Amino acid sequence: MPERFGNADAPLRGWYLAASAALLLYAAGFLLYSQTWAFAWDESYHLLAAQLILSGKKPYIDFCFPQTPLNAYWNAAWMRLLGQSWRVAHAVAGLLTIGAVLLTADFFARRFPVRSWRIAGALTVALAAGLNAMVFLFGPLAQPYGMCLLTLALAFRFCVRAAGKSSALLPAAAGFFAGSAAASSLLSAAAGPVLFVWMLVYHRAGSRWSKAAGFLAGGAIPFAPVFWLAALGPRETWFNVVQYHAHFRKLYWPDTTRHDLEVLTSWIGSGQALVLGLLALFGLLYVARRSEWPRALKAEFYLCAWLAAALAAEVGRAHPTFPQYFLLTAPFLAILAGAGLYAVGSRVLQPDRPLWPVLLAAVLFLLGLGQALYDHRDYVVWADYERLAARIDQVTPPNARLFATEPLYFLTRRTPPPGYELHYTHKVNLPPAERARLHILTEAEVKQQVQSGMFATAISCDDDQIDDYGLKKLYSRSAETGECTIFWDLKGAAGVASRPHP
């Protein structure tokens, strides 16, 4: 926080201490959540990708990974340093998310013109972004949400500074962080063009051409892994980065249009989303009507609106889309919401007394988060999979093949056979030669391999799959662990698969 206080600033000093205490409490709670209950099934293939990278494999070339790879390499680097654990990835992602929350709050504290509301408004911004249910639930995961939140916040801050400075380093930094977000997840790709155009339109010093060149050059650097992998395997890279998303994501969501409409209208039933959206709208209208504000300052708040709109439009067009995708808009909506709370609170109550408006907003955001956590109270967490992994290791020889899913391959540190790195590819319909090149198996091929006795141990949490694959007939021993069943000790001639493989 930038404020310095004299003797007459006791209220501001009190707000500074209260905000600092609240943010420390938030950070501690968020990190605690990251190490205990934070889990999403889809993060497991990101962790498995990082583990495969550590074993010397390359995304796209050696296994299917339909994501831009920067976050996977980031996770791999931290796991090499601190150990191959989901807790490592969660802690790092949690810190990145906390950094994004602090950057957005700091922006408001530095730029909002009403001095008496700067720190109170900054606290509101931090709570609006940090207690956002999707940010809290998905920010600390191994998926690239934490990375995207921080790099988007950094790109925004550098872009704002670049507009009024002549240095080409600031645009390069803005481009680098915008590129880092897109190189971690293409869901954030819309931010780069918005920042680039805004910087050139509101350019106030230096050369537009040098700034444009710096931004583009900086934005290309984080895509170095993609360029390298494309040089090694252009077809494989094209499939993972473009073709899979354009044609095959919807295979596991047959009623995709209905699903997307339900997601896009789900904000109507979310009190937290409604509060954030309404406050952001009020904030945008308030800024637009401030004729006394400098044009450059108003443009910075407008940039928040443009970024939120562009990101929402991009993730809303993902087919299928999901509520957590929209968390990328939260920091920019939160900044506008801080202005919106001032616009409403200063008219209803005394302009220089922000206590009650901030408290009310904080309670609403906390209640929204509490409801989301309550709704997730019975969800599976990593501790459940760790118990499964321990039981699997008890019944499976060290080098024997395992039929499982991504979380268990990661936890048991058993390299999945080719084609098992991502089960979401088993419905992809391509010619056999193409599937082999892209490391993809069909569902029929998976079933055939299981029934051939290829796996010493099999685990399934799907009763239909257990019956369809005939696992009860294939294995002589089994044990139920929660809602899943582990099978081992192959019967008859199929038992040769239980021998360790080289």
In terms of domains, do 16 and 91 share one?
yes
Domain for residue 2, yes or no? Answer: no
In terms of domains, do 185 and 218 share one?
yes
Q: What pLDDT digit, counting tens, does each position of 216-233 carry?
A: 999 999 999 999 999 999
In terms of domains, do 263 and 330 share one?
yes
Range of the domain at 167: 7-375
Q: What pLDDT digit, counting tens, does each position of 365-401 carry?
A: 999 999 999 999 999 999 999 999 999 999 999 999 9
Confidence of residue 278 (pLDDT cuts 50, 70, 90): very high
Q: Which ranges of 114-270 would DSSP assign to H, the alpha helix?
A: 118-130, 133-138, 145-163, 169-184, 191-201, 208-220, 224-232, 234-238, 256-264
* pLDDT surpasses 60 at 5: no
Percent of the chain with pLDDT over 70: 96
Nearest to 343 by CA among 384, 385, 285: 285
Query: Are the CB atoms for 141 and 90 separated by under 8 Å?
Result: yes
CA 69/CA 71 separation, integer angstroms: 6
Residue 402: which H helix or E strand, with range? strand 402-403
Domain for residue 1, yes or no? Answer: no
In terms of domains, do 352 and 490 share one?
no
* pLDDT surpasses 70 at 501: no
In terms of domains, do 119 and 170 share one?
yes
In terms of domains, do 405 and 322 share one?
no
pLDDT at 249: 86
* pLDDT surpasses 70 at 192: yes
pLDDT at 9: 59
Provide the domain count of the chain: 2
In terms of domains, do 259 and 277 share one?
yes
pLDDT at 497: 46
Averaged pLDDT of the chain = 93
CA 469/CA 472 separation, integer angstroms: 9
pLDDT at 213: 95
Percent of the chain with pLDDT over 90: 84
Domain for residue 298, yes or no? Answer: yes
* pLDDT surpasses 70 at 172: yes
Rounded alpha-carbon distances, angstroms, from residue 318 to 65, 147, 182, 322, 383: 17, 20, 15, 8, 31
* pLDDT surpasses 70 at 6: no
Q: What is the mean pLDDT of residues 481-499?
A: 77
pLDDT at 110: 94
pLDDT at 502: 42
In terms of domains, do 55 and 173 share one?
yes
Question: Which among 334, 353, 375 is the end of a domain?
Answer: 375
Q: What is the mean pLDDT of residues 317-334?
A: 95
Reading across the β-sheet that carries 402-403, which strands appear in turn?
Answer: 402-403, 457-460, 484-490, 475-481
In terms of domains, do 370 and 405 share one?
no
Nearest to 191 by CA among 174, 204, 203, 208: 174
pLDDT at 10: 56
The per-type count for the chain, helices as H runs and strands as E runs, is: 23, 4
Confidence of residue 250 (pLDDT cuts 50, 70, 90): confident
In terms of domains, do 86 and 208 share one?
yes
Structure tokens at 347: 């008219």
Confidence of residue 11 (pLDDT cuts 50, 70, 90): low
Confidence of residue 349 (pLDDT cuts 50, 70, 90): confident
Q: What are phi and psi of 422, to 5 degrees?
A: -150, 110
Question: Which among 332, 353, 375 is the end of a domain?
Answer: 375
Q: What is the mean pLDDT of residues 245-257?
A: 84
Query: Are the CB atoms for 197 and 225 separated by under 8 Å?
Result: no
Question: Which among 355, 375, 395 is the end of a domain?
Answer: 375
In terms of domains, do 216 and 264 share one?
yes
pLDDT at 8: 45
pLDDT at 479: 95
pLDDT at 7: 47
* Better-predicted residue by pLDDT, 190 or 205: 190
Domain for residue 246, yes or no? Answer: yes
pLDDT at 1: 46
In terms of domains, do 407 and 264 share one?
no
